[in-house]
């Protein structure tokens, strides 16, 4: 299904579970993934909740307009999708890039947030040069050149060895991205700074980070935890950057606590 945003961009989405369920959850995927990223978690939540998963702008089956992109724009896209399906409020969860968008959504649309899940993410990367380098490599060398780097960041060595099929499915989604949209999304994250808005968030919030996550390491999670009143922080043993894929039971459990 598709919804059209305020600037005419079409956003692809799906709803798992009973669309009329009282409990509602919207989930935002990480950079260069698509809504299938959330399937292991969404299927667990869909037994008693309606779960909205979208392809963010520039990703999956959604439109891929030229940049620049901003996390605030991505947040407004989610608000527009929610409007199109008649959702006033939901638990909003995001991983990595999706977590940055979740923070932007909570800051821009606080009345539409019941609760939050922030996984393997940050309010501020503070490394624009590294993002520019990744963006440029994705365009000049092709996205496949980044795969060895991505696989070591995404998952623990154990998960990479034991679940090659899942890892390959993530690789397939990654390399299918359009380089210009990947470039714009990288620069978006390099420029994003949501720290000033953390104190305004007053909804139940679950924060989690993989113990071995060196893309958004523990100090970044601790900064969000310190800034968001009433939030909780969980460090997930042995996991790396894509914990919703590596340990979906843990992430689904955290979201259930605040649904």
Backbone phi, psi, residue 227, to 5°: -85, -20
pLDDT per residue as tens digits for the range 89-112: 999 999 999 999 999 999 999 999
pLDDT computed for residue 27 by the predictor: 99
141 CB-contact burial (10 Å; exposed 0-12 / middle 13-18 / buried 19+): exposed
Averaged pLDDT score across all residues of the chain = 97
CATH code given to domain 2-125+192-258 = 3.40.50.1820
Predicted local distance difference test score (pLDDT) of residue 45? 98
For the chain, the straight-line distance linking the first and the last C-alpha, in angstroms and rounded, comes to 24
How far is residue 32's CA from residue 23's CA, in Å, rounded to a whole number? 28
> What pLDDT, on a 0 to 100 scale, did the predictor assign at position 198?
98
**What pLDDT is attached to residue 50?**
98
Tokens encoding 25: 């959850």
Instruction: Name the nearest CA neighbour of 121 among 234, 212, 241, 205.
Output: 241
Cut 0.85: pTM above it:
yes
Domains of the chain, residue spans = 2-125+192-258
pLDDT digits (tens, 9 = 90+) for 146-204: 999 999 999 999 999 999 999 999 999 999 999 999 999 999 999 999 999 999 999 99
- Count how many residues are written for the chain: 259
* Token representation of residue 160: 């990479």
SS3 string, 133-178, reads: HHHHHHHHCCHHHHHHHHHHHHCCHHHHHHCHHHHHHHHHHHHCCC
Query: What would the pLDDT profile of 2-56 be if each residue is shown by its tens digit?
Result: 999 999 999 999 999 999 999 999 999 999 999 999 999 999 999 999 999 999 9
């Amino acid at each position: 299904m598709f919804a059209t945003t305020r600037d005419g961009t079409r956003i692809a989405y799906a709803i798992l579970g009973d669309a009329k369920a009282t409990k509602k959850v919207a989930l935002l995927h990480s950079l260069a993934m698509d809504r299938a990223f959330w399937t292991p978690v969404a299927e667990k939540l869909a037994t008693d909740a309606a779960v909205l998963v979208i392809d963010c702008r520039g990703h999956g089956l959604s439109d891929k307009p030229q940049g620049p992109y901003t996390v605030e724009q991505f947040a407004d896209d989610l608000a527009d999708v929610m409007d199109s399906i008649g959702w006033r409020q939901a638990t909003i969860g995001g991983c990595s890039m999706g977590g940055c968008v979740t923070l932007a959504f909570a800051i821009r649309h606080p009345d539409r947030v019941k609760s939050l899940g922030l996984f393997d993410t940050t309010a501020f990367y503070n490394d624009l040069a590294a993002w520019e380098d990744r963006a440029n490599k994705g365009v000049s060398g092709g996205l496949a050149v980044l795969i060895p780097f991505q696989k070591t960041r995404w998952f623990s060595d154990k998960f990479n060895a034991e679940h090659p099929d899942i890892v390959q499915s993530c690789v397939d989604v990654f390399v299918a991205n359009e380089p210009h949209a990947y470039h714009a999304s990288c620069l978006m994250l390099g420029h994003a700074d949501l720290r000033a808005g953390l104190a305004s968030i007053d909804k139940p919030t679950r924060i989690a980070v993989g113990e071995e996550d060196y893309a958004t390491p523990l100090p970044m999670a601790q900064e969000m935890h310190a800034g968001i009143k009433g939030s909780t922080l969980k460090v997930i043993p042995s996991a790396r950057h894509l914990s919703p894929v590596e340990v979906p039971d843990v992430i689904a459990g955290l979201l259930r606590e605040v649904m």
